[in-house]
Amino acid sequence: MNTQETIALFDRYVICNYTRYPVSLVRGEGSYIWDAEGKRYLDFFPGWGCGLHGHCPPYIVKAVQEQLEKLIHIPNTWYNELQGRWAQMLSERSFGGQAFFCNSGAEANE
């Protein structure tokens, strides 16, 4: 699908809550992204903090693939070792208290 077709799809089916750049991104590698027409861009946007390591770094892709082969999602109504270890690491390296994991700002304010 080219950029104009993607924009038309969004115009018809997606509520516009952000002003969007007229570019349809299809791939990323390191500090670069490519649009639907194959044009390469240097990406200076860190993705609100989730893209600080660049696009598709091999060590992150490998870790995600390994996790997906075990479990995709565990709700907070169950225990799991990795979440406990993550909370321990955060506590020991920062405030020394307990962690509260949530997926949006709504839970943080409730």
Q: What is the 3-state secondary structure (H, E, C) of 1-41?
A: CCHHHHHHHHHHHCCCCCCCCCCCEEEEEECEEEECCCCEE
Q: What is the pLDDT of residue 108?
A: 65
58 contacts: CB under 8 Å, gap ≥ 6: none
pTM score of the predicted model: 0.70
Per-residue pLDDT tens for 20-40?
999 999 999 999 999 999 999
Q: Where are the domains of the chain?
A: 1-72, 73-110
Q: What is the pLDDT of residue 20?
A: 93
Determine phi and psi for 39, rounding to 5 degrees.
-75, 135
Q: Which CATH architecture has domain 1-72?
A: Alpha-Beta Complex (3.90)
103 pLDDT exceeds 80?
A: no
Average pLDDT of the chain is 91
